[in-house]
Amino acid sequence: MALVQRLGKPGLFVTMTCNVKCPEITAELCDSETVADQPDVVTRVFKSKVIALKKQTMEEKVLGRWNLWKNTWEHVRICGSNLDKRWVIPYNPYLSLLFDCHLNVEVCSTIQVVKDLYKYVYKGHDYFSFNVVGEGNEGVDEMESFQAGRWVSQCEAAWRIFGFDLFEMTPIMLLLVHLPNMQTIYIRSHERLDSIVENE
Q: What is the rounded average pLDDT of the residues 183-187?
A: 66
Q: Judge whether residue 29 has pLDDT over 80.
A: yes
- DSSP per-residue string spanning 125-150: -EEEEEE---SSSPPP-HHHHEEEEE
Q: Judge whether residue 67 has pLDDT over 50.
A: no
Find, among 99, 116, 120, the residue nearest to 51 by Cα.
99
Q: Judge whether residue 46 has pLDDT over 90.
A: yes
Strands (E), the chain: 12-16, 76-78, 81-83, 103-107, 126-131, 146-151
| Residue range 83-129, pLDDT digits in tens | 776 666 666 778 888 888 888 777 777 777 777 777 766 666 677 77
Q: At what angle do helices 154-161 and 39-54 cross, to 10 degrees?
A: 70
* pLDDT score for 47: 94
* pLDDT band for position 25 (cuts 50, 70, 90): very high
Among 20-34, 105-119, 135-149, where is mean pLDDT lowest? Answer: 135-149
Please state, in angstroms and rounded to a whole number, the distance separating the CA atoms of residues 27 and 24. 6
Percent of the chain exceeding pLDDT 70 equals 66
* pLDDT score for 77: 83
* pLDDT score for 39: 93
Find, among 3, 41, 51, 37, the residue nearest to 19 by Cα.
41
List phi, psi (to 5°) of 184. -75, 140
Please state, in angstroms and rounded to a whole number, the distance separating the CA atoms of residues 121 and 119. 5
Question: What is the tally of helices (H) and strands (E) in the chain?
Answer: 8, 6
